Amino acid sequence: MLLHIPGILDAQQLAQLRQALDAADWTDGRETVGAQGARVKRNLQLPDASPLRQQLAKVVLAALAKHPLYHAAVLPARTLPPRFNRYEGGGHYGFHVDGSVMALPDGAQVRSDVSCTLFLNGPDEYDGGELIVSDTYGEHEVKLPAGDAIVYPSSSLHRVAPVTRGARLASFFWVQSLVRDDGRRRLLFELDTSIQRLTTSGADADAVLRLTGVYHNLLRAWAET
């Protein structure tokens, strides 16, 4: 499921992150990928061990924790601490698939079910830099307003187009979902959002209650903890 999630960060949070990133010491993004990724990756990242990266990651995680649409779509169980990247001067990332298992700082393993890119500056500030996700329906170009995020299956083939003007700033991270299968996550998300709409429209309360029960019983059957 490819889903645009608006308003993860507000204007104050974006200003805080932008000010910090404008003064940051960046490193070659190839340091955090294997040999295959290094052949097609040309960007800058905050070093994983950077205290600034850890500080800004907490801001992003706190904002995600308060966003109901994000939780409904992703059903997060474990989240790899967000990273931050910068593309400029032709920087790009060729087609690739994200690694399937990644390590948390404490050594625990996270299965990457959902990938997320959180845009930190506006599309008018740079040319190029589209996130291009390829699936059975073709290629989808994504370039969102600052503070908005895109989530998509980590199994997707995807790339970042070259940035030919300005700089593209983003946070990116991976999530192990309570529900591993993307098709099941989509069904639960559609059921959840439909229940919310029925509730606000004043639909029959007993019917909404029964549908809510169906949602939770499906989640109970499919969830992995």
DSSP 17-48: HHHHHHT---EEGGGGS-HHHHTTEE-EE--T
**Per-residue three-class SS string for 157-195:** EEEECCEEEEEEEEEEEEEEECCCCHHHHHHHHHHHHHH
* Known binding-site positions: 96, 98, 158, 168
Q: Please give the pLDDT value at position 34.
A: 67
* Known binding-site positions for Fe cation: 96, 98, 158
Distances (CA, A) of 44 to 78, 89, 153, 161: 25, 11, 24, 14
Question: For residues 199 and 205, what is the distance between their CA atoms, to the nearest angstrom?
Answer: 8
Question: For residues 86 and 28, what is the distance between their CA atoms, to the nearest angstrom?
Answer: 10
Q: Please give the pLDDT value at position 58.
A: 97
Q: Which fold has domain 182-222?
A: DNA Excision Repair, Uvrb; Chain A (4.10.860)
Q: The whole model's pTM is what?
A: 0.95
Domain regions of the chain by residue span: 3-177, 182-222
Angle of CA points 87, 88, 93, to nearest 5°: 45
pLDDT digits (tens, 9 = 90+) for 1-11: 999 999 999 99
Residue 86 · residue 43 · CB < 8 Å? yes
Q: Please give the pLDDT value at position 219.
A: 98
Residue 117 · residue 133 · CB < 8 Å? no
Question: For residues 145 and 158, what is the distance between their CA atoms, to the nearest angstrom?
Answer: 20
- Residue 10's nearest CA partner among 79, 67, 84, 72 is 67
In sequence order, the β-bridge partners of residue 168 are 87
- Ranges under pLDDT 50 in the chain: none
| 3 state SS of 98 | coil
* Known binding-site positions for 2-oxoglutarate: 168
Domain 3-177 classified CATH 1.20.140.10?
no
